[in-house]
Amino acid sequence: MTELYHWEPNLFHLKPLVALHEKGVAFTSRWRDPLDFDAAPIPGMNLETANNPEINGPVLVDRGETISESFFMLEYIDEAFPQAPRLLPDSAEGKWRVRVWARLLGERTAPAVASLGCHIHLARRLRDGFAGNPDAVLAGMDRLEARMAWTPALRDQYSVEELAESRRKLADAVRRVEEALGAGDWLLGEGYSLADIE
């Protein structure tokens, strides 16, 4: 049985949904609101998934394995379900190019998008939902990384400089993607791959 614990189809949560649908994998969708900080833990959580750097990112449970981090999840889906279409190129160079895109988009661009999205769309919802008491929510988080990630969102404490840097990183990523797509329909040029999902 394959289960995907996910939120709205955006940012980290969108990627495994796309991959599972592309591969035609039957799975059970388990919707989880990352703003429900009191939600029961996902069954089978292990050290890696509990310490997922994506904090409240998606979690895939497949055949007893619990997998987090959306890009690693994409690789797992492609390898665990080898039916067409193959999403990771066969060549070493192709795999390397996919991982370069994943690093750029996952490590540089996604945090910038998250900061801008939290500031523009989520901050008011968080403020209204917690009645102006983010400290109580933060105090309930046992991981320092989670507290650090959620503090600016819960308090809407993004500086003008941070937001400008996020916009710069996003513009840089858009420029790179447009340059790569100038030669064809897909980031690697040779066909649809995990880089395009990423």
Q: Measured between alpha carbons, how far is 121 from 117 in angstroms, rounded to an integer?
A: 5
pLDDT in tens, 15-71: 999 999 999 999 999 988 766 666 666 666 665 555 565 567 789 999 988 888 899
Instruction: Indicate the pTM of the whole model.
Output: 0.81
pLDDT in tens, 127-180: 666 655 767 777 776 767 767 777 777 777 788 999 999 999 999 999 999 999
Give the residue-averaged pLDDT of 170-196. Answer: 92
Q: Which residue has the tokens 């008491």?
A: 133
Sequence-ordered list of residues with C-beta below 8 angstroms from that of 4, at least 6 positions apart, any chain:
16, 17, 20, 27, 28, 29, 30, 58, 59, 60, 61
The three-state DSSP-derived secondary structure of the chain is: CEEEEECCCCHHHHHHHHHHHHHCCCCEEEECCCCCCCCCCCCCCCHHHHCCCCCCCCEEEECCEEECCHHHHHHHHHHHCCCCCCCCCCCHHHHHHHHHHHHHHHHHHHHHHHHHHHHHHHHHHHHHHCCCCHHHHHHCCCCHHHHHHHHHHHHCCCCHHHHHHHHHHHHHHHHHHHHHHCCCCCCCCCCCCHHHHC
pLDDT in tens, 30-41: 988 766 666 666
